C-alpha cells in the first residue's frame, strides 16, 4: 500500500511467531534508543505516581492524575511507532516539547479504544452477572468470555494507533477491514509478548509486598478490618519504589507490543512510508519468506 492509499482488505496474513520475534528483536537491537526514549516519559510517570499516593483522599485530583498518566505513554508510543515504521536511525524526542497534532490524535484514539473496551466489558458483564444469579458456577467463565470479546474488538481496531502515529488518515472502519480473520493472531502475539513479563512483574510484586510492606492481613479477621487507604499511607515510600520498578519494567513489554502492532500494520496493509521519510530499501519490518 502506498501511503494514504489503503487497500480494501489485508494484503498479507499475520505470522504470529515471526512478528513476535521481530518485535523482540526490535527492542533488543535498539536498547540504547529505548532507554533514551523512555527516560522522560518514565520520569513523568514517576512524578504522577508520587502525586497519586497523597491524592487518594481527593477523588477529583486522583481522577485528574489518572488522565494525565496517559500523556507519558502517548509520548513514548508515538515515538516508538514512528521508529519502527519509518526505520529512523536516531531516537526521536519524547519530551513535552515534542508534543504535536499527531499526539493529540493518538491520545484521542487510544481513549476511544479504551472506552470501547470498558463499554463492552460493562454491557456484557450485566447479563453475565444476571445469569450468574441462577448458575453461579459459570459466572467466571461468562465474565472471562466478555473480557475476551472486548479484547478481540480492540485488537481488530488497533491499527489506528500506528497509522495515527505516522500521520496517516486511517479510520476505525479501515482497521476493522484490514484485521478481518487476524483478530486472534493479534491477540496471540500480544499474549506471547506480555504474559512472561506479567508473570515476572507479579513475582517481583509478591516478593516486595511480603518483605518490605507492613500491615498486610494474615487472617480472615484482619482481612475484614483491612483499611486499604491506611495501608497505602503507612507504606508510601515502599509503594512508590515498587511502582517505580514496575513502571520501568513495563516499558519493555510496552515497546514490544508497540513494535508488534507497527509491524503487523505494515505487513497486513502493505503500508509504505513516503520516500522523503525513509528509504524503503532499509525497511526494518520486512518479513523474510
Using alpha carbons, list the distances in angstroms from residue 107 to 35, 70, 120: 22, 7, 20
pLDDT of residue 12: 61
DSSP state of 89: S
The runs of H, that is alpha helices, within 87-227 are: 101-134, 139-157, 160-165, 172-178, 183-212, 220-224
The grid coordinates listed for 172 are 476505525
Confidence of residue 280 (pLDDT cuts 50, 70, 90): very low
Model's pTM, two decimal places? 0.84
Cβ atoms within 10 Å, residue 246: 15
Name the residue ranges covered by the structural domains of the chain.
16-282
pLDDT of residue 108: 95
DSSP state of 225: T
- 119-126 contacts at long range (C-beta below 8 A, 24 or more positions apart): 120/146, 120/149, 120/150, 120/153, 121/146, 121/147, 121/150, 124/149, 124/150
Asked if pLDDT for residue 209 goes beyond 80, the answer is yes
What are the tens digits of pLDDT across the range 52-78?
Answer: 877 667 778 888 888 889 999 999 999
Report the alpha-carbon distance of residue 191 to residue 265 in Å, rounded.
17
> pLDDT above 70 covers what percent of the chain?
89
Report the alpha-carbon distance of residue 31 to residue 18 in Å, rounded.
20
Report the alpha-carbon distance of residue 44 to residue 261 in Å, rounded.
24
How much is the mean pLDDT over the chain? Answer: 85
Amino acid at each position: 500500500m502506498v501511503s494514504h492509499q489503503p487497500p480494501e482488505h489485508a494484503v498479507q496474513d499475520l505470522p504470529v511467531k515471526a512478528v513476535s520475534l521481530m518485535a523482540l528483536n526490535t527492542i533488543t537491537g535498539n536498547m540504547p534508543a529505548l532507554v533514551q526514549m523512555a527516560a522522560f516519559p518514565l520520569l513523568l510517570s514517576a512524578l504522577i505516581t508520587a502525586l497519586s499516593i497523597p491524592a487518594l483522599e481527593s477523588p477529583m485530583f486522583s481522577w485528574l492524575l489518572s488522565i494525565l498518566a496517559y500523556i507519558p505513554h502517548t509520548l513514548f508510543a508515538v515515538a516508538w511507532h514512528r521508529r519502527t515504521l519509518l526505520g529512523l536511525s536516531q531516537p526521536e524526542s519524547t519530551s513535552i516539547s515534542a508534543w504535536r497534532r499527531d499526539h493529540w490524535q493518538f491520545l484521542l484514539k487510544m481513549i476511544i479504544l479504551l472506552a470501547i473496551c470498558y463499554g463492552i466489558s460493562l454491557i456484557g458483564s450485566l447479563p453475565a452477572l444476571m445469569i450468574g444469579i441462577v448458575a453461579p458456577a459459570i459466572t467466571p467463565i461468562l465474565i472471562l468470555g466478555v473480557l475476551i470479546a472486548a479484547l478481540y474488538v480492540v485488537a481488530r481496531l488497533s491499527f489506528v494507533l500506528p497509522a495515527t502515529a505516522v500521520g496517516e488518515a486511517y479510520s476505525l472502519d479501515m482497521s476493522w477491514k484490514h484485521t478481518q480473520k487476524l483478530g486472534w493472531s493479534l491477540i496471540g502475539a500480544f499474549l506471547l509478548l506480555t504474559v512472561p513479563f506479567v508473570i515476572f512483574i507479579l513475582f517481583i510484586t509478591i516478593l516486595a509486598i511480603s518483605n518490605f510492606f507492613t500491615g498486610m492481613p494474615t487472617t480472615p479477621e484482619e482481612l475484614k478490618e483491612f483499611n486499604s487507604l491506611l495501608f497505602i499511607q503507612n507504606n508510601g515510600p515502599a509503594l512508590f519504589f515498587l511502582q517505580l520498578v514496575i513502571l520501568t519494567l513495563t516499558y519493555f513489554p510496552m515497546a514490544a507490543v508497540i513494535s508488534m502492532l507497527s509491524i503487523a500494520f505494515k505487513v497486513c496493509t502493505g503500508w509504505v512510508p513516503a520516500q522523503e521519510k525513509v528509504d524503503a530499501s532499509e525497511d526494518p519490518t520486512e518479513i523474510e519468506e
